[in-house]
Amino acid sequence: MIKYIYYCITSLNFNKWRNKMVYALNLFNFREGKENDYREYSVKAGKIIYGKGGQVISSGWNPIRNLHGNTERRYMIVVE
3-state class of 44 per DSSP?
A: helix
Per the structure, the count of domains in the chain is 1
Q: Are strands 56-61 and 13-14 parallel, antiparallel or unpaired?
A: unpaired
Taking residues 22-49, report their average pLDDT.
Answer: 83
CA atoms within 13 A on the CB side of 26: 13
Residue type, 68: H
Q: What are phi and psi of 54, to 5 degrees?
A: -85, 175
* Residue 62: pLDDT band with limits 50, 70, 90: confident
Reported residue count of the chain is 80
For the question of whether the overall pTM of this predicted structure is more than 0.75, the answer is no
Segments forming the whole domain that contains residue 42? 2-79
CA atoms within 13 A on the CB side of 77: 13
